[in-house]
Amino acid sequence: MVSSQLTIRPAVPADARTIFDLICALADYEKLRHEMVGSVENLQAHLFGDRPFAEALLAEVDAQAAGFALFFHNYSTFLMQPGIYLEDLFVLPDYRRQGIGRALLIHLGKLALERGCGRFEWNVLDWNSPAIAFYKEMGAEIKPEWQLCRVGGEALQAFESM
């Protein structure tokens, strides 16, 4: 049996379609495809445009896309340090349990340290027991006292007239 070669690298503009397709697979997995309204063009502009809002890592096995991590910087006022917020981590089903998710998290943790970050954070859906167990195994502390607040759609548009 030939061993597979795992590569984790920063995404480049030519990867936009691949990342978009991985995001579609993530949306399907989370049963949230109906909430996905963006396009490859949106993703391209926001990752690689004049003012990038996020960054992405691509995990490849034998040069085939196997997963991705999309992240951005945030800031902790208490630590007075930047942090990295992991928006999404996803590995395609055929590539799970091969250490790819672990490798992506380790890569991001090291990146956070290199960039002088004081935190590396993300959210996990409460029904995703395998992910919760994996994150705990990686040293993550699940913070049940914190709840996500989100303003979007019409509620966000209402801010314009306030």
Judged against a pLDDT cut of 50, whether residue 1 lies above it is answered with no
HSE value, Cβ hemisphere, 13 Å, CA-based, for 17: 1
Instruction: Give the domain ranges of the chain.
Output: 6-161
Q: Which fold has domain 6-161?
A: Aminopeptidase (3.40.630)
- Asked if residues 82 and 94 have their Cβ atoms less than 8 Å apart, the reply is no
In the set 29, 75, 95, 135, the catalytic residue is: 135
Cβ-based neighbours of 62, under 8 Å, separated by 6 or more: 4, 5
Tens-digit pLDDT profile for residues 93-127: 999 999 999 999 999 999 999 999 999 999 998 99
Order of strands across the sheet that contains 64-76 = 6-10, 55-61, 64-76, 81-91, 119-122
Active site residue 75: no
How would residue 3 be classed by pLDDT, with cut points 50, 70 and 90?
Answer: low
The pair of structure tokens assigned to 41 is 């063009």
